[in-house]
Structure 1
Amino acid sequence: MAFKFLGKVRVPRSLLGRMLLLTLLAILLAQTLSSAIWLSQLRTTQLEGLVTSARSLAYSMNATVTYLRSLPLAYRPMVLDQMRSMGGTRFFVSLNDKPLQMPVLQPTQRKKAVLSAVDQVLRQSLGADVDMTVQFVSPQDLRIFNAGMKLEELPRSWAHFALTLEPVNPPVLVTQIQMAPGEWLYIASLLPEPYTSLEEEGLPAVQLWFIGLSSIFLLLFIGLLVHWQSRPLKRLARAARDMSLGEDRLKPVEIGGGSEVVEVGRAFNTMRARISRYLTERSQLFSAISHDLRTPITRLRLRVELLDDEQLQHKFGRDLDELELLVKGALQCVKDTDIHENIEQVDLNLLLDCLIEPYLLPQGNGRVTLHGRALKPYSGKSLALRRCMGNLIDNALKYGKNAHLRIDDNAHKFVLTVDDEGPGVPEQRMEQIFEPHFRLAGQQQGYGLGLGIARSIAHSHGGEVSLQNLRVGGLRVTLTLPRNAD
């Protein structure tokens, strides 16, 4: 797929590539917006469920506090020991002489919501002036009993089943409430599932799979649709190129695709028929001119030979020579640019080797050098390309003594540069040099048709011939032939 650079972004050139790129961007934008809205609603729902679970947990804590307060002071440690020995409780509860100091986890939105809900429920039940702390602590920093023991230092039956959830190890909610002077109730617990970790979850894996698969299927269907719709356009482009090369002029292009493409195909067929008719009429016209003019010119030459006045005879002969030169030049221009031959794979390396071979011999009329090679054959008219490149080489040798050829070939275009060592062309005459019979001052050789014919042949192949004066002197003629239709 061909790309072009837009700034630093590579943008595909083809219609299929651009449609797929725009579709992908639209899918990603739509899925991002919908996923953001869905995730926002999901987190809001999860936060509401988390607050509800935290309030329920707080009511359970309040029931524990109420139960312990109803017991005599001497029975409270014994009941707590029995609860720890039996295991299976939601809470780890102990009585301490003072509140334990532990590193507190950095509060997040969810942690703040839980702490606020628990604090609110407990103060509503126990009184607003109760001395109490509610905080989240990591399992590694958790301290238990007055001695500040770590979690792993306790028997597993005492606390591990209530305060650990391997391998997650979520934060522990520690609530410390003053029961009486010098007596603090210590309650440690985990939040119930699915809010144990308190982390805000991203998009679920199922949602990501759905986005990926839906994007792939949509791109596949869009690609098939664009490919199906672009086939008539490719046929139209191929027919236009073949028509420019003179291939199958009378054969109409196959019409298909959407209504707009069908309309373009019909218009192209109409245009193709008109151009074919025009070319046929032009060929017939110049054939008639060739036939009609040569006879009277020959007759006039015979009559001039019968004149007794040699000076007058010379003047008439000069005018007839000029007239015949103009007729031959016009006919040659039409003949050389309207070459009727089939399109084939042309070996450009072999073609150029044949063109420059006569000039490599010692008795040659000039010196030619060639650098570079064509990567692969070119789809075009062999005779026309030979005439085009031959005219460029002949022009360089005729006006610049030596010709230096260089080939630059890639997957997109074939470029042939021909440098000479002549005087060059004035900048204001660059375009005029391609006109028929135009010559610069001091140039009297030929008909002045070589560059014009070469450019016409290049145009028929979708290419171009351009001129550039070299800084060191001489003229550079560049032939560019596109390969995108090979």
Structure 2
Amino acid sequence: MAIKYWRRPRVPRSLLGRMLLLTLIAILLAQTLSSVIWLSQLRATQLQGLVTSARSLAHSMNATVTYMKSLPLAYRPLVLDQMRSMGGTRFVVSLNERPLDMRALPLTQRKQAVLEAVDQVLRQSLGPAVDLSVKFVSPQDLRIFNAGLTLDELPRSWAHFALTLEPVNPPVLVTQIQMSPGEWLYIASLLPQPYTSLEEEGLPAMQLWFIALSSGFLLLSIGVLVHWQSRPLKRLARAARDLSLGEEQVEPVEIGGGSEVAEVGRAFNTMRVRISRYLTERSQLFSAISHDLRTPITRLRLRVELLEDEALQHKFGRDLDELELLVKGALQCVKDTDIHENIEPVNLNLLLECLIEPYLLPHGNGRVTVTGRASRPFSGKPLALRRCMGNLIDNALKYGKHAHLVIEDHAHAFVLHVDDDGPGVPEQRLEQVFEPHFRLSGHQQGYGLGLGIARNIAHSHGGEVSLQNVRGGGLRVTLSVPRTAD
């Protein structure tokens, strides 16, 4: 038996789509509520008018009963024959020896209200003890006269004009009243317009057209408004993305839209100027530091060489090596993470092939294997991405014998998993290894900057580098960068 899983409905991602969806839901709820209230009031008004018409019809029936009672018994059939020969009246009236048995239609609220109104009026006029029956009968089940004739068996001039309304097939109200023992007055009629069919009408077509047109115009106006206001936001997002990717020349954002959006644009332009000034000053600062520190370190190293005490010379040399290591590490960190490149399409497959070529057979002993390929180029900084991925591969081979690269290229992101067979990283140090100069093993070569530089480059592309220990040993380093800039 197949198990069906419930899927969460997809919600539009754009501001325009979400605004239109929310507006459409609000319109439908408001129109539905107002239509239900309006329709309930309309039906209540129609029901009140129906009851009034039924009471008027009952009074007419009562007048017929009173008139027939006023006639001598011998005259009553003659009067009825004369009425039929003249074309009949709004009622089909006959005198029967017994009440005719006919199948009544199922009761609805409107039919029940009519029957109660007619029964109440007749009993008030004729007395509560009168024997009568009131029911609705379909034209097919209608029976007339003692013989129980159907409507089609009678001459058209006798009953068809009073009890049919083509093409509608309305129910017939049949009232049978006992005049005296063995004599029943039979009265059949239709309800007056507009209550002939007794059907509850739904929303009129004009009302439905009004709802559809008003909803369409409202959605159109809101769509134009949101599109108009979202254009400055799109320009701001594009400029912010270029700035985050290190573009040297980011044009000021054009101010537009509402006052709030315009204020955001002005704030972004101010921030852009400050960040550009800060980056320039930082580059100049580190250049000065590099020049100022290398010269005294070199001078001190020459002076150490002149010392006669070898033990003291060794101590000074060790301190100078450590100082030089720190300076080189800091400068390399700045150099590797602040790469001034233009963003361009990068062939990730070719980039990875160049990185792993030294480790392939026969000279590299097959230390690196690759699974998967990138489906299309990625928009980014070529040298920065090369250094980022190269650091991840070097880190895997530094702590393990082999590295396995798994490429997952999705519609919105490029993901690279680098798995090694090394000892892994303690869970409490998974984030600490990204810090500058941190190394799990003191005897490992390098400055301890590789993973930190790789993460900084990933951040500059809007992505992330994360670590996860693999069951059975080893570490998985995952590089994920979005394709928002493609």
Residues 154/266 of structure 1: CA separation in 2 closer, same or farther (3 Å cut): same
In the alignment, which residue of structure 2 is the partner of 1:3?
A: none
- Distance in structure 2 (CA, Å) of the matches to 1:443 and 1:479: 27
Instruction: Note the alpha carbon deviations across 1:232-289, whole angstroms, 9 max, x for none.
Output: 2222222222111111456322222111122222222222222221111111011111
Unaligned runs of 5+ in 1: 1-5
Q: What pairs with 1:199-278 in structure 2 (closer than 5 Å)?
A: 199-248=199-248, 251-278=251-278
Residue type of the alignment partner of 1:481: V
Question: Closer, same or farther in 2 for the Cα pair 1:410/1:156, shift >3 Å?
Answer: farther
Indicate the percent of aligned positions where both proteins have the same amino acid: 85
Which segment drifts farther, 23-32 or 371-380?
371-380
User: Is the Cα–Cα contact under 8 Å of residues 100 and 143 in structure 1 kept in the other structure?
Assistant: yes
The 1:122–1:333 alpha-carbon spacing in structure 2 relative to 1, beyond 3 Å, is: same
**Distance in 2 (alpha carbons) for counterparts of 1:156 and 1:387:** 101
Aligned residues between the structures: 481
Distance 1:356 1:312 in 2: 45
Cα-to-partner distance string for 1:192-211 (whole Å, 9 max, x where unaligned): 22211212111112211211
Preserved contact between residue 333 and residue 449 of structure 1 (Cα < 8 Å): yes
**Residues 51-60 or 418-427, more deviating:** 51-60
TM-score under structure 2 normalisation? 0.92
Moved more, 462-471 or 440-449: 440-449
Shift of 1:76: 2.9
Q: How does 1:308-457 map to 2 (within 5 A)?
A: 308-364=308-364, 367-457=367-457
CA contact (8 A) 1:250 1:273 kept: no
TM-score, L = length of structure 1: 0.92
Letter in 2 for 1:273: V
Go from structure 1 to structure 2 and tell me whether the alpha carbon gap of 1:322 and 1:196 turns closer, same or farther (over 3 Å shift).
same
| CA positional deviation for 1:156 | 3.7
Q: What's the CA shift for 1:322?
A: 2.6
Q: Indicate how the Cα distance of structure 1 residues 144 and 417 shifts in structure 2: closer, same or farther if over 3 A, else same.
A: same
Moved more, 373-382 or 277-286: 373-382
Where 1:317 maps in the other structure, the secondary structure is helix
Q: Which one is further off, 135-144 or 426-435?
A: 135-144
Structure 2 Cα separation of the partners of residues 59 and 247 of structure 1: 92
Cα deviation, residue 461, structure 1: 1.1
Deviations 1:208-237 (A, max 9, x none): 121122112111211221121122222222
Tell me how far 1:7 sits from its aligned partner. Answer: 9.0
SS in 1 for 2:479: strand
CA distance in structure 1 between the aligned counterparts of 2:443 and 2:207, rounded to whole angstroms = 78
> Distance between the aligned counterparts of 1:183 and 1:101, measured in 2?
15
Asked if structure 1 preserves the Cα contact closer than 8 Å seen for 2:345 and 2:379, the reply is: yes
Letter of the structure 2 residue corresponding to residue 389 of structure 1 = M
- In 2, the alpha carbon distance for the partners of 1:366 and 1:171 equals 91
Contact 2:88–2:159 (CA under 8 A) maintained in structure 1: no
Residues 29-71 of structure 1: CA distance to partner in whole angstroms, max 9, x if unpaired?
2212211221122112211221222223223323333443344
The Cα shift of 1:422 comes to 0.5
After superposing the two structures, state which structure 1 stretch, 223-232 or 158-167, moved more: 158-167
Kindly provide the CA deviation profile for residues 100-151 of structure 1, in whole angstroms up to 9, marking residues without a partner as x: 1222223222112212222233334444443222111222332222222333
Q: Confirm or deny: 8 A CA contact 2:50 2:195 kept in the other structure.
A: yes
Q: Secondary structure at the match of 1:265?
A: helix
2:3 maps to what in 1?
A: none
- 1:307 deviates by 4.1
SS of residue paired to 1:324: helix
- The offset of 1:336, in angstroms, is 0.6
Q: Residue 291 of structure 1 aligns with which residue?
A: 291
Residue identity in the other structure for 1:254: E
Judged with a 3 Å threshold, the aligned counterparts in structure 2 of structure 1 residues 62 and 10 are, in CA distance, closer, same or farther, namely same
1:153, 1:342 → 2: CA distance? 97
Supply the distance in 2 between the matched residues of 1:370 and 1:206 (Cα, whole angstroms): 66
Identify the range of structure 1 (31-40 vs 64-73) with the bigger mean alpha-carbon deviation. Answer: 64-73
Maintained 8 Å contact 1:366/1:397 = no
Contact 2:144 2:150 in 1 (8 A): yes
Q: Which moved more, 1:181-190 or 1:118-127?
A: 118-127
Deviation at 1:79, TM superposition (A): 3.6
264-273 or 308-317, larger mean C-alpha shift: 308-317
Is the Cα contact below 8 Å between 2:138 and 2:172 reproduced in 1? yes
Deviates more, 1:413-422 or 1:292-301: 292-301
Instruction: Answer with 298-307 or 457-466: which moved more.
Output: 298-307
SS of residue matched to 1:12: coil
